[in-house]
Chains A and B, each alone.
Chain A
Amino acid sequence: MAELNTGGGDGKGKKVRSKKQNAGVDLTAMVDLAFLLITFFMLTTSMNKPQSMNLAMPDKSDDAEKKEDSKTPVDENRTMTVLLGADNKVKWYMGMPQQPLDGPNDSSYGQNGIRKVILENSKKALAYSQDVEKGLIVIIKASENANYRNLVDILDEMAITGTKTYAIVDISDADLDMLGEKK
């Protein structure tokens, strides 16, 4: 392929012409190599950094003064509790666990499950409070049998539905009863 000017011409006129012909070096092999390397680097480079979601947890420090403050009264009409159980089970209810205003109802993850419920309840909560600042409060309680994917899924729903106020709280016995999971 590569034609090198070997010289050794026969005549004077011919020598000049052959020189002109071999002016370009054959770059095919070089291009082959370059593309091979490009492909290699493209495939090995991790172009996209891993994604992440932010999670802020409430401060847990047990200062005496904080204990008084932490008992913020919460309106039961705006409070929705989501229970995450074993085998991707989701249950939700409004208000207190002893006498829920609505529920406990079964649901599932995804756009036709819990997302619809959250959006509906969010509308109801806004209608109830008549205040844009006082929207739905979601309390997430995961049982011991829930896995990490469940937690991320429900946090993702919070992001999708634009729920600003949510908290991850330890599950109580009444909630475990509802899920049918005993300690």
Chain B
Amino acid sequence: MAKGKMKKKSMRVDMTAMCDVSFLLLTFFVLTSTAKMPEPLPVDTPSSTVQTKLPEVNLATVTVGGEEGAEKVFFGVLGKEDRIATLVKMGERYNIEFNDEEKMTFSYLEGVGTPMKDLKSFLNLPPDVRNKVSASQPGIPTAEENNQLKDWVQTARIVAKDMNNKVLEVAIKADATVPYPKVKEVMNIMQEQRLNKFYLVTGLRNEDF
């Protein structure tokens, strides 16, 4: 009887320590993870060996991508408050007033690629529809006579200066297949505002390139 009992007890492994460890890890991952927002315009960035990290605050991202021959430009800034402030200021410029709900919706978006006149209706779409059509937004106009990208960048810079008293950094995230003139056009828009330093978002390349 005594022998049998001993054997039965040793069959079970004590899970307490394992449970402790796994929950510790779980807590760590839950706390460190930031929910990854869906990208409005998925792009395949070229890779480089340079490993500068992007700043985590005060960053505006200009995304260039889309189908060949019809490249689109999207724009987004980091930070909820910054996004709302940028939207409000842009609204003032274009005489559009956004209500609180639209501001909230905008603050959740990583970036937008809709001209100002259609932005209100885009923000009022139901979330599932908006996510679906996200990549098929027409892009922000960059043409000379209606250069909204310039206004977006300018506004975001003013907001960053006013709210955080910091200089806004701009990252260009372009698809590897985007023709050079399109990238140059975006760079020129930045340079017209004396914004001469950008980050080019790239992937990681292995050593033996």
Contact = CB atoms under 8 A, between A and B. Distances in A.
Interface of A: 21, 24, 26-28, 30-31, 34-35, 37-38, 41-42, 44-46, 49-61, 84, 110-111, 142-153, 155-156, 159-160
17 contacts: A26-B12, A28-B15, A30-B19, A31-B18, A31-B19, A37-B26, A41-B26, A45-B32, A50-B201, A51-B51, A51-B202, A52-B52, A54-B199, A148-B174, A148-B180, A148-B183, A150-B180
B33 A49 contact: no
B187 A51 contact: no
Contacts of B36: 44-46
B181 A53 contact: no
A53 B199 contact: yes
Contacts, number: 158
Contact of A55 (B18, B47, B199): B199
Counting chain B residues whose Cβ lies within 8 A of the other chain, the interface size class is: 35 or more
A148 B15 contact: no
B117 interface: no
Nearest to B59: A52
A146 B180 contact: yes
Interface stretch (B80-88, B96-104, B119-127, B188-196): B188-196
B45 to A, nearest CB: 8
B108 interface: no
A59 to B, nearest CB: 6
A58 B203 contact: no
Contacts of A57: 187, 191, 196-198
Nearest to B51: A51
A156 B29 contact: no
B16 to A, nearest CB: 6
B46 interface: yes
Contacts of A24: 12, 14, 16
A47 to B, nearest CB: 8
B50 interface: yes
A52 B171 contact: yes
B176 interface: yes
B25 A38 contact: yes
B177 interface: yes
A32 to B, nearest CB: 9
Interface in B12-57: 12, 14-16, 18-19, 22-23, 25-26, 29-30, 32-34, 36, 45-54, 56
A110 B26 CA distance: 42
A27 B12 CA distance: 10
A77 B208 CA distance: 30
